[in-house]
Structure 1
Amino acid sequence: MKRPITPTTTVIVYAICGIVWILATDTLLIELPWKMSFDRLWLGQHFKGVLYILLSSFLLYGLIKRNMARLELSQKAYMRMFRENPQPMWIFSTENFRFLEVNDAAVNLYGYSREEFLRMTILDIRPPEDIPKLQQNQGEFRGGITSGGQWRHYKKDGTLIYVRIQAFETMYDKHPSEVVSVFDITDKYMADEALNKQEQLLKAMINSTENMVWAVNTQLQLIALNNSFRHHSGLFTGINEPAPFWEEYYRKCLNGERQLFEYVIPGNDEKWKYAGLSFEPIIHQEKIIGVACQAWNATENKENELKLKKALERYDLLSLATNDATWDYDLASNVITWNEKMQQCYGFRGTGADVSYWQGRIHAEDRERVIRTIEEAIWRKERRWQAEYRLLGLKDQYRHVVSRGYILYNEQGEPFRLIGALMDVEDKVRQQEEIRKLSLIASMTHNPVIISDPEARIEWVNKSFEDLSGYTLEEVRGLQPSTFLHGPETQEATMQEIQEKLATAQPCVVEILNYSSVGQPYWVLMDITPVMDASGKLERLITIQTNITEKKKIVEQLQEKNKLLMEVAYISSHRLRKPVASMLGVMALMDKENLANPENERLLGFIERLTNDMDAMLHELADKCNHIYLAEQSQNDHPL
């Protein structure tokens, strides 16, 4: 594109042409071969001047027209560059903030058509809260190309974007205006915001912990630290310089070696005696650019570890005298170690192995459950763990064992160790199985059965006991039978006999009067059998009761019948014989020859009195026989 003629060029061309014209025409008039009169010379000068004006006018017209054409082409080229510029741009009036022109990139970015833009102002694409700031910014604008800073704009669809603008003043259509270039920095802004939030979060995180956190670069200069480091770094001699002790760890870490070590803090600080430290390489684009460091107060853990170590030493000594086996499970390395008891009693090889070795020796039916109980105890942050399972022992035989463990946690609350002991309960399980079988048998029998501990506290009763006594197992578990079964008529001598037999672990069979839950008395034949363990120590008491209430009633009836029979026999053989003998004697004294003898009258009085005595005896004898008959009827109705 041709450049337009500048005003200076126009003036120079006009001046040269004017000077050349004057010199040439004046010389021509002087050098004419004919002499001219003054009038003709004057006329020639006027003609020359008019002709110059005409020629110069045509010249100026041509120059101006050419310049205008070139200027128009330049304006069109500039407008094309403005419209087709890939950078969003617009022109707005500084008088009323109305858009005067926008390019295609702005239309594409904001979603408004060109016509919609030209009906709007630059205030319409901004949040209301940003308008005062914009007006203040326009009031402070001093011309020239300037950066308008960072702003928020709305697209047509309501999307908020972040932009950076550059502007310069100009005149457009005779209006004071500004040409604005817009740079969409939304992605960068969001990334910066996310980075800032992440940095703030990271800063808050490292300052929210009591652990010391810091970082050094490859020159061992501090590049980051938290408040805890500022407060406690004085406890670590030479850590800021750094001293050769720390430099050695830094250098190893810069060579790619992760450092994890313990530091004994000099001095008499009661809170910080031991510290745990971790140095990690900072890697960026596969290159180590520094060291990330962390230190935490390990005093409590260390002291607990020392106490635990002493306790384990004592426990190992104690385990030599017992059958308990001890083990130590490192949760970080998944390695479990054990003492010699595990080798002697269960055939474990060596003194340690991967935890899968121990898991593999657990019975298949118990394995998943045991592993799950450990995971659940750790998940719930519990300190103690216990599980009963079958473990493969000597001669490839499974034995029932109980493992009890204690879970250790570090300062971050992460589990790192599980230590414990293993106790063989095979004999106990077998006894429990035998008791279970006996309980099953006892639950099916009609006789009441009580199983109690050596102190006679009830552990189990069967349904027959509940039916007879009216008490449920839940009501009597842990109670001694004498505290709720005995009553006012329970024989003291019988209770004393039971206590004496139980004190010497002897079997005992007695008849005793018990009382039900509603106070109803009933008789039982109670057979108490002591159960001894392998060492001869009393382990349990098994009591089998037989309800003999009806039998007791029948025996009492028989005793009453025998008593009545003896009384009948006594009346018949002794008491009735006396009046009969007396009557026979009186009859012998009577004067049968002379019935009118006055002595007979006196003897008849004796006979009458004896007859009355015999009648009373016969009535008494009849009553007792009637009682015997009723007792026989009752016995027939309720046979044994």
Structure 2
Amino acid sequence: MINLFSPLRTVMIFIIFGIIWLLTTESLLRSLAERIPTLFWHGHFLKGIVFISINGLLLYWLLNKYITSLHHSEKAYIRIFKESPHAMWIYDRNDLRFLKVNDAALNIYGYTMEEFMRMTILDIRPEEDIIKILNNQAAYSEGFHTDGTWRHLKKDGTLMYIQIQSFGTSYNGKEAEVVSIWDVTDKYLAEEALVQQEKLLNTIINSTEDLIWAVSADKQFIAFNNPFQNTIQNFMGVKLEVGDNLTKVETESDYLRWRDFYDKGLRGEKQVIEEARELEGFGMAYAEITFNPIAVEGKITGVACFARDITERKQQEIQLKKAVERYEIVSLATNDVVWDWDLTTNKVIWNANLKELFGYEEVDDNVSWWKKMVHPDDYAKAVFTLEEVIRTRLKHWEVEYRFKNAEGEYRYVNDRGYVLYNEDDQPARVIGAMQDIEDKKNYIEELQKVAHMSSHGMRRPVASMLGVVGLLNKENFADPENLPLLEYVEKIAKEMDGILHEVADKCNAIFMDVEKE
């Protein structure tokens, strides 16, 4: 809106009115002087008085309107300042004291107007920022300023981050500055968290020995970690930079092969492959490589790749394969049930003899299955003793107990185990062999019966024979009284012969059973 009462416009109105007055009154006086010559001089005197009077009144009216307009503008600006949704204040540039503070600042900072009027702008700053504030004040320059992000303190000690805009002015005759702030604490903390997260992410991806890189849809490197860059430089002699094409680090044949993996990733397919290369001075090296599509707002823009060195694992797998082959060969050479208990997973691997000796087609590979097959009366002797060997860091375990077969019958077994420890000297595995000794136990019982029979059956006739022999006349065997005694000895000898034949028959039967087995 045009202000009709500005100083310049007031002067222009005064000049225009003066010129119009002079021109019109001069012509009028000349016209009257031709008729009445004496009126010319009186008219000039009267014209001056009227001119001064009219101009005084006009000037008063214009100045009064201008001052009134200034008051209205000042009130409007004060209202805008006071009711602004942004915190604002005016402070004295010389002593830094607050001169005026709006309602938004009172609400945000928690101080009353009286408290603010006793404070300086340093009172709402952290102590460690004061030197920086003073240096900033010393570098003050005229005009509008955007002073960036600063830290402020509320009355309750809460720290907030604010952005400041300011400009110099004069307030009540003092050199002052008007300040407007925006609370950007949430934005600042979010951005700071994002920066910290990015730093942490960079630290993580650069602290690992695994290789991480990303390729755009144009087959250009858009990101990679330090191990990947160093690996490329060491083995390819190329200093890789962001934006380089794949062809910079691969031969044509390798590029065509790798391009297929990237193309599948760009089509949304996740892939995991194993790569083997022979490195000079190192031998065969193996890596597991994962290709993951990068999706931004539902659109695939690239492929993120992750390569893990699995050389040690592959070597262990090769060694394990050889060990399994040896294990299978050993299994063919023994009737024992060979088992391997992984203490980390609690899984048990059984060889084929479990089926041959005990009839099980399939079993649960958890160690709990074996524990359930142990006879309840032998549980402590079998299970607890093995757990005690592991707990006390021993290596050897051996025990006889009864084990249930697939038909629900319990058979005696002799079980032996050997505990293996890892590089941290912690129990890792137990390798064992279970031998079915049911028939052996039966043979022993039969032999014990035979021994009992032979010892007790022979003792009586031998004792009788010894008694009869003691009655014989050894000085004269022809003595007629020896005849009945000799007949009795013959009878005892035949009885002993029968016992010996019975023992022999039982032994032959046991041996024939052994041969059948």
Mapped contact 1:88–1:183 kept (Cα < 8 A): yes
CA offsets per residue over residues 240-296 of structure 1, 9 Å max, x none? 656222222233333333322221123324177222223333455555444332223
Q: Does 1:280 align with 2:292?
A: yes
Residue 386 and residue 291 in structure 1: after superposition, are their counterparts in 2 closer, same or farther (change >3 A)?
A: farther
Residue 105 and residue 346 in structure 1: after superposition, are their counterparts in 2 closer, same or farther (change >3 A)?
A: farther
Residue 335 and residue 27 in structure 1: after superposition, are their counterparts in 2 closer, same or farther (change >3 A)?
A: farther
Secondary structure of the corresponding residue to residue 248 of structure 1: helix
Mapped contact 1:362–1:392 kept (Cα < 8 A): no
Find the counterpart in structure 1 of residue 51 from structure 2.
Answer: 52
Mapped contact 1:363–1:398 kept (Cα < 8 A): no
Find the counterpart in structure 2 of residue 134 from structure 1.
Answer: 133
**How many residue pairs get matched?**
412
Find the counterpart in structure 2 of residue 519 from structure 1.
Answer: none
Residue 164 and residue 12 in structure 1: after superposition, are their counterparts in 2 closer, same or farther (change >3 A)?
A: same
Find the counterpart in structure 2 of residue 27 from structure 1.
Answer: 27
Secondary structure of the corresponding residue to residue 100 of structure 1: strand
| Partner of residue 324 from structure 1, selected from 337, 352, 356 | 337
CA distance in 1, matches of 2:403, 2:297: 51
| Partner of residue 433 from structure 2, selected from 420, 423, 441 | 423
Secondary structure of the corresponding residue to residue 233 of structure 1: helix
Residue 397 and residue 46 in structure 1: after superposition, are their counterparts in 2 closer, same or farther (change >3 A)?
A: farther
Find the counterpart in structure 2 of residue 81 from structure 1.
Answer: 80
Mapped contact 1:363–1:391 kept (Cα < 8 A): no
CA distance in 1, matches of 2:310, 2:114: 72
CA distance in 1, matches of 2:235, 2:270: 20
Find the counterpart in structure 2 of residue 110 from structure 1.
Answer: 109
Find the counterpart in structure 2 of residue 302 from structure 1.
Answer: 314
The alpha carbon displacement at 1:321 in A equals 1.7
Aligned residues: CA RMSD: 4.3
Q: Does 1:195 align with 2:204?
A: no
The alpha carbon displacement at 1:123 in A equals 1.4
Residue 67 and residue 193 in structure 1: after superposition, are their counterparts in 2 closer, same or farther (change >3 A)?
A: same
The alpha carbon displacement at 1:3 in A equals 4.3
CA distance in 1, matches of 2:407, 2:123: 90
Find the counterpart in structure 2 of residue 244 from structure 1.
Answer: 256
Mapped contact 2:90–2:101 kept (Cα < 8 A): yes
Secondary structure of the corresponding residue to residue 193 of structure 1: helix
CA distance in 2, matches of 1:245, 1:420: 44
CA distance in 2, matches of 1:114, 1:65: 34
Mapped contact 1:91–1:180 kept (Cα < 8 A): yes
User: After alignment, is 291-300 or 62-71 more displaced?
Assistant: 291-300
Q: Does 1:363 align with 2:372?
A: yes
Identical aligned residues as a percent: 39
1:212-361 to 2 correspondences below 5 Å: 212-234=211-233, 241=249, 243-270=255-282, 273-322=285-334, 323-325=336-338, 339-349=351-361
CA distance in 2, matches of 1:364, 1:115: 87
Normalising by the residue count of structure 2, what TM-score does the alignment of the two structures yield?
Answer: 0.67
Q: Does 1:97 align with 2:96?
A: yes
The alpha carbon displacement at 1:125 in A equals 1.3
Mapped contact 1:154–1:161 kept (Cα < 8 A): yes
CA distance in 2, matches of 1:5, 1:364: 110
CA offsets per residue over residues 319-367 of structure 1, 9 Å max, x none? 11222345798x99x99876533443454547xx9857x8667629999
Secondary structure of the corresponding residue to residue 120 of structure 1: coil
CA distance in 2, matches of 1:159, 1:314: 72
CA distance in 1, matches of 2:174, 2:220: 59
Find the counterpart in structure 2 of residue 10 from structure 1.
Answer: 10
Find the counterpart in structure 1 of residue 41 from structure 2.
Answer: 42
The alpha carbon displacement at 1:9 in A equals 2.3
The alpha carbon displacement at 1:72 in A equals 1.1
The alpha carbon displacement at 1:188 in A equals 2.0
CA distance in 1, matches of 2:32, 2:176: 62
CA distance in 2, matches of 1:138, 1:423: 87
CA distance in 2, matches of 1:364, 1:339: 17
Normalising by the residue count of structure 1, what TM-score does the alignment of the two structures yield?
Answer: 0.55
Find the counterpart in structure 2 of residue 162 from structure 1.
Answer: 161
Find the counterpart in structure 2 of residue 394 from structure 1.
Answer: 406
1:117-128 to 2 correspondences below 5 Å: 117-128=116-127
Residue 403 and residue 200 in structure 1: after superposition, are their counterparts in 2 closer, same or farther (change >3 A)?
A: farther
Which residue type is aligned with residue 142 of structure 1? S
The alpha carbon displacement at 1:300 in A equals 2.1
Mapped contact 1:385–1:406 kept (Cα < 8 A): no
CA offsets per residue over residues 113-157 of structure 1, 9 Å max, x none? 122112211111112332222222222222222211221111111
The alpha carbon displacement at 1:77 in A equals 1.0
1:610-621 to 2 correspondences below 5 Å: none
CA distance in 2, matches of 1:208, 1:266: 25
CA distance in 1, matches of 2:14, 2:406: 125
Mapped contact 2:89–2:105 kept (Cα < 8 A): yes
User: After alignment, is 240-249 or 207-216 more displaced?
Assistant: 240-249
Secondary structure of the corresponding residue to residue 266 of structure 1: strand
Which residue type is aligned with residue 278 of structure 1? T
Find the counterpart in structure 2 of residue 150 from structure 1.
Answer: 149
Mapped contact 1:361–1:392 kept (Cα < 8 A): no
Find the counterpart in structure 2 of residue 454 from structure 1.
Answer: none
Q: Which runs of 5+ in 1 are unaligned?
A: 435-533, 536-640
Residue 129 and residue 71 in structure 1: after superposition, are their counterparts in 2 closer, same or farther (change >3 A)?
A: same
The alpha carbon displacement at 1:313 in A equals 0.7
Which residue type is aligned with residue 120 of structure 1? M
Find the counterpart in structure 1 of residue 504 from structure 2.
Answer: none
CA distance in 2, matches of 1:139, 1:387: 88
Which residue type is aligned with residue 28 of structure 1? L
Find the counterpart in structure 1 of residue 492 from structure 2.
Answer: none
Secondary structure of the corresponding residue to residue 161 of structure 2: strand
Find the counterpart in structure 2 of residue 456 from structure 1.
Answer: none
1:603-614 to 2 correspondences below 5 Å: none
- Greater Cα radius of gyration, structure 1 or 2: 1
Residue 301 and residue 287 in structure 1: after superposition, are their counterparts in 2 closer, same or farther (change >3 A)?
A: same
User: After alignment, is 213-222 or 17-26 more displaced?
Assistant: 213-222
The alpha carbon displacement at 1:309 in A equals 0.7
